[in-house]
Structure 1
Amino acid sequence: MKKLACVMALSAAFLSTEALAWGNEGHRAVGNIAQKLIKGSNAEKQVKALLLPGETLESITTLADSAKGGVGYPAPSPEMAAYAAAHPRHNEFHYANVPFQHDHYHDGIVGGSDVDIVQTLKQSIAVLQGKTDPVNNPRGFTPRQALLLIAHMTGDIHQPLHMGAAYVSADGKFVVPATKAEIDSVKIFESRGGNNLLLDDAKIDAVTKAVTGEAPYVPEGGKKYPTKPFHSYWDSTVVTYAMRRSSTRTPEQFAAKFTDPRQEVSVNTGDPVTWPYQWAAESLAAAKLAHQDVTVTKRDARTTSKGETAYTFGLEMGERYPVPSSDLARTQLIKGGYHLAALLKAIWP
């Protein structure tokens, strides 16, 4: 893969069109698996009571993304527009930027925050458990909002780069900042969950046919970009690879193939409000695998319109990287569906 020198403007342009975690197909696959697994249970009954006419557990998995608005996202409904207005930091609910080298997430960890994905899931679970006091529900989520967030964020937290982030030293090495103050964009740079690590799109196209047996994906309108952020690769490309390599083409087909009582998936224990911490640890383990066989190349800097310096880095992946990465994505999507179902059943036994 050739080395890249790409300005932040190109990164921002690409992100505006493809920044949906797991993409719509991935989220719907997670929701469809869970939907099948709770069928006939009290959890299914309680979920339906919070749904609007025509909605399913699968269909609501994308609503939290629609609240973001903008190019590349589904248009928000009046309900989701009101939710976004009431929660100005809702974009931050979807992720944590914990150094991927860590084994566990804990409150106050570098890369975490009071509104990160673990805290958001924890609060949403508490609401559905009936704990709506300000201590357990500081954001004031309604039960329906809590369900929408759980349905979406359970998928998000199983996307490795939504939990484990890379931090890069000035000489292009992955490092672990001990404190937030060390992340200074002089000696240690943050990758924004891989959004500032840019892959060569031509290289990805070259391996697509070998991995999926199909021609490269061309976005609507036929417009291609010269780079793909590493985060977007994990949000979208690996989902396509995982489905095609599983001989499936839709979330429904994927869910049907992998919804099996014999499926081996990790089991969570203890109070359900602690489960997001357990999922975070599993996701960090996956993030370590996601960052294997990738190498940082050239750093690029530019001055933004605000007079700030912005940095991106080229990223090279091994030629076989799409195969293990799509295998890992398939595992994480399946886990997400099973964990979502188990959580809903634990909340509503």
Structure 2
Amino acid sequence: MKKLLLLLLLSSQICLADTALWGSTGHRVVGEVATQYLKSSTKRKLKKLLNGQSLAMVSTFGDDIKSDSRYREFNSWHYVNIPSGQLYDTHDKSEHGDIIKGINKCISVIENERASDDDKVFYLKMLVHLMGDLHQPLHVGRVEDKGGNEFQVRWFNKGTNLHKVWDSEMINHFKMSYSELAENLPRLSKKEIRAIETGTVLDWTYESQKLADKVYNSAETGEKLGYRYMYDNFQNVRLQLFKGGIRLAKVLNENL
């Protein structure tokens, strides 16, 4: 009986671990793509700061620390809610900060030669995560439904929400690991890559905002989404992961 209970406990832990892993796949793709576009000098600095850990490995750090109350002040850094058609500078902002302030804070620390290594490592890990969040369009979604978290839909036969569909359901359904996805993302010309790199954090936020509008129009509350939704939208998911990785590399190359 004890052996049976032990087996059941171990199997449940494995299932929980798999669930957590899949929820992190998109962030790891962003980290892995970024690695492909880093300068050699940047790679050396990252290797030293991260003690050999890869960007893919640390990319989930921003979510990992959410369960620790000491880091509660960073919870609002994962998103920004800008009403459709409005500008960041003129809309009501969270007093606790948002993803734009978070990314800019991270950049200011990692580029500061006087910052301690501990601070640089913390904000570097946060930066890797937040650059991924910025390119998930519903992290720039509507305040009234918490970025699609309260926009209820069905994914095949399972109840979920629109945010989760874009966060993980489509990626999970594609059944590729983060490294496989990173290796098979669109191959773009140097000109196309330079176009992706162009702009500021705010420019990239507005780009995600426009895509968020399209995402909201892509489904109705309670709608059953499945193969057709994948066909129509998964290419955008892949492109956003690719853009997030390229732009993360640009930020690191310029500021580390």
Instruction: Give the TM-score, by structure 1 length.
Output: 0.60
Shift of the 132–93 alpha-carbon distance from structure 1 to 2, 3 Å rule, reads: farther
Work out whether 1:149 is the aligned partner of 2:122.
no
Q: 1:102 to 1:240 in 2, by over 3 A?
A: farther
**Number of residues paired by the alignment?**
236
Pair 1:325 & 2:233 matched: yes
Alignment of 1:200 with 2:162, yes or no, is no
Per-residue deviation, 1:257 = 2.2
Task: Report % sequence identity.
Answer: 27
8 Å CA contact 1:198–1:228 kept in 2: the answer is: yes
Q: CA, structure 1 residues 261+344, in 2 after alignment: closer, same or farther (shift >3 Å)?
A: farther
Alignment of 1:32-43 (within 5 A): 32-38=32-38, 40-43=39-42
Listed as ranges, the matches of 1:256-267 within 5 Å are 256-258=183-185, 260=187, 262=189, 264-265=192-193, 266-267=196-197
Contact 1:197 1:229 in 2 (8 A): yes
Matches within 5 A, 1:1-349: 23-38=23-38, 40-53=39-52, 55-69=53-67, 81=68, 84-85=69-70, 87-99=71-83, 101-102=84-85, 104-106=87-89, 109-110=91-92, 112-130=94-112, 142-165=119-142, 190-201=144-155, 204-205=156-157, 227-241=159-173, 243=174, 249-258=176-185, 260=187, 262=189, 264-265=192-193, 266-269=196-199, 275-296=200-221, 314=222, 320-348=228-256
Q: 1:103 and 1:340, CA in 2 relative to 1: closer, same or farther beyond 3 A?
A: farther
Secondary structure of the residue aligned to 2:170 is helix
Q: Which amino acid aligns with 1:56?
A: S
Tell me if the contact between 2:29 and 2:182 (Cα under 8 Å) persists in the aligned partners. Answer: yes
> Residues 93-129 of structure 1: CA distance to partner in whole angstroms, max 9, x if unpaired?
1111222x236433x6246554211110011111112
The amino acid that maps onto 2:41 is N
The two structures have a TM-score, normalised by structure 2, of 0.80
State the secondary structure of the residue aligned to 2:228.
coil
Larger radius of gyration: 1
Determine helix, strand or coil for the equivalent of 1:228. strand
Structure having the higher helix fraction is 2
C-alpha deviation, 1:322, in angstroms: 2.7
> 1 CA distance for matches of 2:75 and 2:101?
13
The alignment partner of 2:220 has SS state of: strand
Asked if structure 2 preserves the Cα contact closer than 8 Å seen for 1:126 and 1:132, the reply is: no
For the residue of structure 2 that corresponds to 1:52, the secondary structure is: coil
> Which sections of structure 2, spanning at least 5 residues, go unmatched?
1-16
Q: Is the strand fraction higher in 1 or 2?
A: 1
SS of corresponding position for 1:277: helix
Structure 1 residue runs of 4+, over 6 Å off?
17-20
Query: Aligned letter for 2:23?
Result: G
C-alpha separation in 2, matches of 1:338 and 1:109? 29
Q: 5+ unaligned residues in a row in structure 1: which ranges?
A: 1-16, 70-80, 134-140, 168-189, 206-225, 270-274, 297-313
Contact 1:158 1:283 in 2 (8 A): yes
Structure 1 residue 267 displacement after superposition: 2.3
Letter in 1 for 2:145: S
